[in-house]
Amino acid sequence: MDARPNSPEARDIRYHLHGYTNARKHQETGPLVIEKGDGVYVEDIAGNRYIEAMAGLWSVAVGFSEKRLVDAATRQMSKLPFYHDFGSKAHSPLIDLAEKLVQMAPVPMSKAYFTNSGSEANDTAIKMIWYRSNALGQPARKKIISRKRGYHGVTIASASLTGLPNNHLSFDLPIANILHTSTPHHWRDAQPGESEEQFSARLADELEKLILAEGPETIAAFIGEPIMGAGGVVVPPAGYWEKIQAVLSKYGILLVADEVICGFGRTGEMFGSQTFGIKPDIMVLSKQISSSYLPISALLINDKVFEPIADESDRIGTFGHGFTGGGHPVAAAVALENIKLIEERDLVGNARKVGAHLQARLRKLASHPLVGEVRGVGLIAAVELVADKATKAPWGKPAALGALVNGFLQQNGVISRNMGDAIAFCPPMIITEAQIDALVDAFERSLDAALPQVHPQG
C-alpha cells in the first residue's frame, strides 16, 4: 500500500466506509485501487493486471471495455438524460426493455417492473406479495420462505430473506414473517449414504412440514436462487427443484426465482430457471442485465401476480410504490444494448462451451489435499477448501483457509472472492479457454502455496 498521506489509498482509508469489509482491518491494510478495465482484465493503480474472475460482482457479462455500451449511454444521455414512470409516464428505452424482457422470459410473464438493484427488486417483490394477499382478501397470507445461505440483498426486507448470519448480526434482522428452510448442499449436509434424490426428497418433506406447522393459509411465497451464489455457489441436487415446486403447487404458494446472478446466460442457458426446470411466478433480474455498467434491475410478474395488484391499485387509486431512478432511460438503453450483445455474440453458448472447460479444469484439482468439493454449472463455479478431506474440517477458524488461498490468488494475478472457505469463479462471459487455463493455473499455484502452512509436516 502507498503510505504517502495524500495517496489514493490513504485518502480512501480517511474518507470511505466500504461494504463487506472489516472496517478496522481496512484502516491497517488499505484498499486495492482499480484504475481501468479491458476485456476480462482489470488493472490497479500501480499497473498490476488481474483476471477478474468474479466479473466484478458476478455481473460484467461483456467485459470491462465494451464500447457499444458506452456509446448507447452517450446517445441516450444526449437525447433524454432522465425521466421516470410515475403517473403513467414512460419513455422509449423503458418500453423497449419491458417488452424485450417479457418476451424473452422462459415462462409466460405479464409485466416488467423496474428498480435499481437486486436488493430493491427483492424488497419490491415482498411488498408486491403482501399487497397481492390483501387484494385477494387473505391478510394472514404474509409469510415468505427463503433458505439458509440464500442471498437476496441487503435492504431491511431483502436482507431478512438472505440466510447468512453476517447479514443479520447487529442489524436486528430478520424482520417478522420471513422464514428459512435448509440449504440444498448435498456434499455438506446429506446424511451418510443419502443419494441426491433422497436428500432432495428430505428437503421437500422438511419444507412441507414447515408450511403445515406455520399454517398453509399464512404462507405467501417461496424465494430461491436457481444456483445459490454468495452462499457458496451451491448447485441444487438431482430432483430438488421438481420436488420443491410440487410442494409449493400443492399449497398455492407463489415461487420467486432470484435470477440476479444466474440470469442472462451464466449457467449456459439464458436463465437459471431454464437450466433447472423452474417455473416462477416472479423473476428478479439485475447485474448482467446491463453488465453492471449502470445500475438497473427488474421484476417480471405473471398474470397471477399482476391482476390482483392491478385490482387493488384501482380500489386504492394508485400503486403506492416506485423509485426515482427505476427504469432510468440511460440505464435501460445500456441494458437493451447489453442484451443485444449477449444474443449477437452467443455469449450464452460461450458460457456453455467455455464453462464446460472451466468445470473440467477445476475438477482435475479434486485430488489436491486442500480441495473438498468442486461444484458449478456453466461459467459459475466454486471450490470448497478443507484441511482434512475425510472429515471436511476447516483449517482453524472457518474462512481462514479461503482467505489464505484468495490472498495468494490475488498475488498470482487473479481477483476472486472467498465465501467462507469456498473460492468462487464467475468470470465475464466473453472469457476464452486460454484465459480459463491461465486462471486455473494461477489457482493451482495458490493452492500449492497455501499447502505448507496448512500441513507443515507434509
Residue 103 CB neighbours (<10 A): 8
What is the residue type of 264?
F
The 3-state secondary structure of 340-404, one letter per residue: HHHHHCCHHHHHHHHHHHHHHHHHCCCCCCCEEEEEEECCEEEEEECCECCCCECCCCCCHHHHH
Q: How many residues does the chain have?
A: 458
Q: Kindly tell me the number of DSSP H helices and DSSP E strands found in the chain.
A: 16, 15
- Mean pLDDT (the chain) is 97
Read off the C-alpha cell for 270.
439464458
CA angle 330–335–338, rounded 5-degree value:
125
What is the distance between the alpha carbons of residues 107 and 273, in angstroms, rounded to a whole number? Answer: 9
Percent helix, strand and coil across the chain, each to the nearest 5: 45, 15, 40
Residues in CB range of 257: below 8 A, 6 or more apart: 223, 224, 225, 226, 271, 272, 273, 278, 280, 282, 283, 284
Query: Is the Cβ–Cβ distance between 232 and 345 less than 8 Å?
Result: no
- pLDDT of 457 reads 82
Read off the C-alpha cell for 259.
435470477
With a cut of 70, which residues of the chain have pLDDT below it? 1, 3
- pLDDT of 1 reads 67
> Coil, strand, or helix at residue 36?
strand
Residues in CB range of 126: below 8 A, 6 or more apart: 144, 157, 158, 161
Residue 375: half-sphere exposure toward Cβ, Cα within 13 Å: 21
Q: Of 56, 84, 20, nearest to 293 (Cα)?
A: 56
Domains of the chain: 32-62+346-454 (3.90.1150.10), 68-344 (3.40.640.10)
For residue 178, the surrounding DSSP H or E stretch is strand 178-181
Q: Of 75, 100, 80, 101, nearest to 91 (Cα)?
A: 80
Task: Tell me the whole-structure pTM to 2 decimals.
Answer: 0.97
- pLDDT of 377 reads 98
- pLDDT of 4 reads 84
Q: Using the 8-state DSSP alphabet, how is residue 169 labeled? A: T
What confidence tens digit (pLDDT) does each residue in 381-422 have?
Answer: 999 999 999 999 999 999 999 999 999 999 999 999 999 999
- pLDDT of 63 reads 98
How far is residue 42 CA from its own chain's centroid?
A: 21
Query: Is the Cβ–Cβ distance between 351 and 379 less than 8 Å?
Result: yes
